[in-house]
Every structure is written in structure tokens, then in C-alpha cells.
Amino acid sequence: MFVEAAENVAKARENLRVAQSHQKSYADKCRKELTFDEREYVYLKVSPLRGTKRFHTRGKLAPRYIGPFRIKQKVGDFAYELELPEHLSGVHPVFHVSQLHKCLRLPEEQISLEAVDL
């Protein structure tokens, strides 16, 4: 009876190990390492939690990212300090790399909305 239980436990552990290795291989295919340089522009992710009000955006149609903001310096291995404007002075300026999205177009290259004739 104890031998049969031990065999079942060993079989269950082996099945768990195989399932974990499959999940790890699937996750590693989609995973990419994010690094940013100083003085580079990034977008900041707004909190996705429903009902929370952060960065003065709220509601169903609120943007997912705000910015772009310039990176002031790298803090630790996975955190960056951003140069935030005055109206966001109450927000701590250090964010994890998972909350940042690379800005592909520099803000200086954008045209003003007043210059566009519709």
C-alpha cells in the first residue's frame, strides 16, 4: 500500500515537472529583455485596475500609456527614473521596466495640432 502511494506521488511529481517545463518554454518564447538608455523617451503605463484614478485618467476609454517622458537615470537593474512634468509632481518618479514602453518617435518630430488644416 505504501509502495503504491509512493509510486503515485513520484508519477504526479514527474507530470508536474513536465508541465512546468512546457509552460516555461512557452513563456520564454514571448519574453524579451527590456533595457533603455538614459535620455531616451518612453511611455508610462497607466494603472489597468478598474476604478482607480492615477495620473488624472479614468474610465473605459482612458489611454493605456501616457507620455512620452525622458529617462533621467537607471536605478538598480530593473527600474528607471523619469523626468515628469509639474502636474505629476505627486507621483514618485521611479518605475519598473514592465511599466514602460519604448517611444519610437521623438516628441520634437511631431507637428503641432494648430498647424494641421482639416
- 18 with 59, same domain: the answer is no
Global pTM value: 0.64
Mean pLDDT along residues 61-78: 87
110 pLDDT more than 50? yes
Q: Which domain covers residue 69, as residue numbers?
A: 41-107
How far is Cα 10 from Cα 116, in angstroms, rounded to an integer? 69
Give the pLDDT band (50/70/90) at residue 93: very high
Asked if residue 86 lies in contact with residue 50, where contact means CB atoms within 8 angstroms, the answer is: no
Is 56 among the domain residues?
A: yes
Tally of domains in the chain: 2
How far is Cα 63 from Cα 43, in angstroms, rounded to an integer? 11
Give the pLDDT band (50/70/90) at residue 82: very high
| Terminal Cα-to-Cα distance of the chain (whole angstroms) | 82
pLDDT, tens digit, 9 for 90 and up, residues 6-49: 999 999 999 999 999 999 999 888 888 888 999 999 998 886 55
How far is Cα 27 from Cα 73, in angstroms, rounded to an integer? 29
Give the pLDDT band (50/70/90) at residue 87: confident
